[in-house]
Amino acid sequence: MLDVIRKLCSLLNLLVLLCPLVPAHAENVAPSVHWGALDFPERERTMTAGLTINRFTEFDVHRNRFNAIMQSAGFNFATFSVTDRIPSFPAWSGNVTWGAGPTSEAPSRNLQSFVHHLSNQGMVPTDQVRDSTDFMIGGSVTRWSQLFSSRDTGFISIGVAGGSLYQEVYGRLGIRECSVADLAAWAFSGRTSGILKSISRYVRFSAMGRYSRPYGGSAYSSDVLANQSYLGQASVSLADFGESDGEAPHWVLEVAVTYDSGLFAAPNTHRILRRFGSVSLRAPYGTLELWDDVVGGTDSGPTFGFGVMLNVLHLYSLIATH
């Protein structure tokens, strides 16, 4: 198993060397998290810019209406995100993320159809389509702590998001890229096995719980939103993290599953449960991520997303040195 992981790491390192501009992780602009995107906060200073696409379809593949929303929508957001440590409180980081752009069928319908074709799912029908210019702005503060290791692993954060789609207040609690070897050493008074150390060099685990209170906006009124939302997210990260916590790896391949009690409400006001899968490839100069409600049989077409974000700080340093 370790040989397979090492070979995968070597292959992805080669890919990064050959394609240095492959699309650093940043917090996603709403509503990406309720569509299944990774929502773990960023530890270090980052500045990213790119494109985030989220699609909501009012029908499933059998043309059953998903809820009381009477239109499909494809949100095409030019997105910008900034994260940094707060100078007076070095254990805290702050983030501001915003996105805006035209809401239309293209290109989200083509992207969703392509993904559904690859996974042998039917085409998702549409009827009325939202045609507007939408925006969302979000901000959060996060308290980091050293759990089980010398690196900041545990976090707790609070945040707000708002704009033309809906408004939201939320809190998050979790662990980020935790080493099993460090966890075992903490649990067994410093003793751990060589196998766990070898695994932890290439594999890290993350988990998070999120609670939010949504409020209505222009696109989605309070009548179609749940009164509250519970979300759980867990992921496995594959990379060459090294023998100890130090400089971040050149690339990270991350696979995640998300359980969401539902942003939307059915006509009888019950929350609509969704389960998502997402995959992300982070390289020195950016991130490429895809998410869909494909896990556990909940994929009936409504929610899909895609993002490509470039790391502005790394790209600037690259240009400045030349």
Domain ranges of the chain: 2-320
Q: Per-residue pLDDT for 63 more than 60?
A: yes
pLDDT at 27: 76
Q: Compute the radius of gyration of the chain from its Cα atoms.
A: 20
pLDDT of residue 118: 77
Task: Look up the pTM and report it.
Answer: 0.85
61 pLDDT more than 80:
no
Span 25-55, pLDDT tens digits: 667 888 999 999 999 999 889 999 999 999 9
Q: Which CATH class is domain 2-320?
A: mainly beta
pLDDT, tens only, 153-179: 999 999 999 999 999 999 999 999 988
Omega of the bond leading into 31 within 30 degrees of 0 (cis): yes
Residue 92 C-alpha from the chain's centroid:
20
For 75-93, what is each residue's pLDDT tens digit?
999 999 999 999 999 999 9
* Percent of the chain topping pLDDT 70: 84
Tell me the average pLDDT across 196-220: 92
250, 316, 266: which is closest to 13 by C-alpha?
250
Provide the angle, in degrees to the nearest 10, between the axes of the packed helices 194-202 and 2-18: 30
